[in-house]
Amino acid sequence: MREQQTTKSNTESDEIWPPPPTGHAASQDVERGVKPKVSLLLSIVVTGILLSIILGALTNAINAAISPTYFYLVFNQQVDSDQVWKASIMSGIREAGCLGLIISNIFTAGASAICRSQLSYGVAVRYLLGISGGALIAWIFGGLVALSLAVLHPALYANIFGTRGGFDGLLGYAWVSGSIWGIEGGSLISMIVALAKLRTHRKLPANQKHD
C-alpha cells in the first residue's frame, strides 16, 4: 500500500504544473509568442542578400552584353573597354548587395512581427524567392518600357533617361537603363506585396493555409 502511494506521489510530481494551455488559450499564447531566434532572423537576412547578389550579377552580366556602351559611360570611361563586362558584374554585385541588405532587413523585421514564433526559414525563403521573381519580372518590364519609349518617342526618352553616347546603340542603352530602374523599383514593390500576402495568409483559418 505504501509503495503504491509513493509511486502515485512520484508520478504526480513529474506532471507539469500548471498544465499547458489548450484551445483558445493556447492560440492566444501563440499570438503573443516569443520572437523568432536571432539565428533564424540572421539566416533569413543573409539568404535574402545572397539572392539579391545573384540576381544583380546575372542581370548586369546580360545588360553589359547588350550595351557595353552604357556601362562604359557610367564608369566615366575609367575602365578599359575590354574590362567593362567584368566591371559591370562587380558593380551589380555591390549595388544588389546594398539593396538586398535593405530589403532583406525590412522583410525579415516585417515577417517576424507578423508571424512571431511561428516564422520558419522555409516559409521566409519561399517569400524571398517570390520577391526575387517579382524583381526579375520588373527588370524585363522596365527594359521593354524604355525600349518602346526610345523607339516611339525618342525625344521623351532623352528627357527621362538621357542619350549619352548619341543615337548609336540607342536601343541597347534604352533596355539597360529601363531594366535597372525596373529591377530596383520592382524589388521594393515585390517586398511590400510579399509582406501583405504573408499577413493575409497569417489571418486565414488553419484549414485554408497551405504552408
The cell for 117 is: 514564433
The cell for 196 is: 501583405
Terminal CA-CA length for the chain: 53
In this predicted structure, which of 22-36, 66-80, 115-129 has the lowest mean pLDDT? 22-36
User: Residue 118: its pLDDT value, please?
Assistant: 83
The rounded radius of gyration (Å) of the Cα atoms in the chain is 26
Q: 3-class DSSP state for residue 88?
A: helix
Asked if residue 166 lies in contact with residue 128, where contact means CB atoms within 8 angstroms, the answer is no
Output helix, strand, coil percentages for the chain, rounded to the nearest 5: 80, 0, 20
Burial of residue 2, with CB atoms counted within 10 A of its CB: 0-12 exposed, 13-18 middle, 19 or more buried: exposed
User: Residue 172: its pLDDT value, please?
Assistant: 87
User: Residue 170: its pLDDT value, please?
Assistant: 81
**Could you state, in order of their start, the residue ranges of all structural domains in the chain?**
36-202
Burial of residue 204, with CB atoms counted within 10 A of its CB: 0-12 exposed, 13-18 middle, 19 or more buried: exposed
pLDDT tens sequence across 91-130: 999 999 999 999 999 999 999 999 887 889 999 999 999 9
Would you put residue 168 in left (φ > 0), alpha (ψ -120 to 50) or beta? beta
Q: Is the peptide bond before 68 cis (omega within 30 degrees of 0)?
A: no
pLDDT tens sequence across 119-154: 899 999 999 999 999 999 999 999 999 889 888 887
d(CA 140, CA 207): 37
pTM of the predicted structure, to 2 decimals = 0.76
Q: What is the DSSP letter of 211?
A: -
In this predicted structure, which of 17-26, 134-143, 175-184, 197-206 has the lowest mean pLDDT? 17-26
Asked if residue 30 lies in contact with residue 20, where contact means CB atoms within 8 angstroms, the answer is no
